[in-house]
Amino acid sequence: MEAFYTIQGEGHYQGHAAYFIRLGGCDVGCHWCDVKDSWEAGKHPSVSVEEIVKEASKYPARIAVITGGEPVMYNLEALTEALKKEGFRTHIETSGAYPLTGTWDWVCLSPKKFKEPVESIYPFVNELKSIIFNKSDFEFAEKYYNHITDFEFEENYHPHLLSSSDKHFFLQPEWSKQQEMLPLIIEYVKKYPKWEVSLQVHKYMNIP
C-alpha cells in the first residue's frame, strides 16, 4: 500500500527512526481501523521485494517495520531475508490472525476480537499491544497476557534478545476514545504494573 520513513510512535520502540512497509490486504475488519484503505489488497500495486528493499536502504535507520493491513496474510520469508541482508532489524506489527512466516527481530502482537490470533504465534511475541476501546478490553488483554506468558521463550528464534524476561505488555487507548479510556488505563497500570502505557505519539507529532 505504502512505505515511508518516520518515527515509530507506539510501543517499546517508540521514538526510534524506522522505515515502515505497509502491505495491503486485511480481513480482520476492526471498525475503528485508521487505515481502512489497506483492507482491499487489489486496490494497491504489486511491488517486488527488491524494489521495497532498495527504497528502504535509501534511509539511514536500520529498523524496518512490516505492518498493514494484516501482513501475516502473506509469506514474508523473502522480504525479511532481503531486509536482513541489507542490515535491517525486522519488526512486524500483526493481529496474529494467520501463522507467522519470516525471520523477525521483534514481533508486536495486537490481538483483535474480530479475528483472534492463532496459537502458534505466542512463543515469538516480544511485545503485546492491547487496544483499549471499552472497559471489557482489559479482560481481553489479560487473556492474551496469560497466553503469551504460558509459553517458553524461544532463544534461537530471537538471537538479539537476552532473556525470556525481555517481553513487554502495553495497554493503548484507541485514538477516538483516548480521553475516556486513558484515565482508566493509567489506574489499571498503577494497580497491575506488569503492564505499560502506550500512546500513539506520532499523532501528537502529526507524522505518519
Query: What's the order of all strands across the beta sheet hosting 2-7?
Result: 2-7, 17-22, 63-67, 89-94, 106-109, 127-132, 168-173, 196-197
According to the model, what pLDDT value does residue 163 have?
A: 44
What is the C-alpha to C-alpha distance for residues 119 and 121, in angstroms, rounded to an integer? 5
With 0.75 as the threshold, say if the pTM is over it. yes
Q: With 50 as the cut, is the pLDDT of residue 132 above it? A: yes
Name, in order, each residue with C-beta under 8 angstroms of 142's C-beta and a sequence gap of 6 or more: none
Residue 36: band (very low, low, confident or very high) from pLDDT cuts 50, 70, 90 = confident
Domains of the chain: which residue ranges? 2-204
The answer to which of 46-50, 63-67, 148-152, 155-159 has the lowest mean pLDDT is 155-159
Q: What number is the average pLDDT over the span 12-28?
A: 96
In 10 A of CB 56, how many CB atoms?
Answer: 22
What is the C-alpha to C-alpha distance for residues 180 and 128, in angstroms, rounded to an integer? 22
Among candidates 172, 181, 177, which has minimal Cα distance to 200?
172
CATH tag, 2-204: 3.20.20.70
Peptide bond into 69 cis (omega under 30): yes
Q: With 60 as the cut, is the pLDDT of residue 88 above it? A: yes
In 10 A of CB 183, how many CB atoms?
Answer: 11
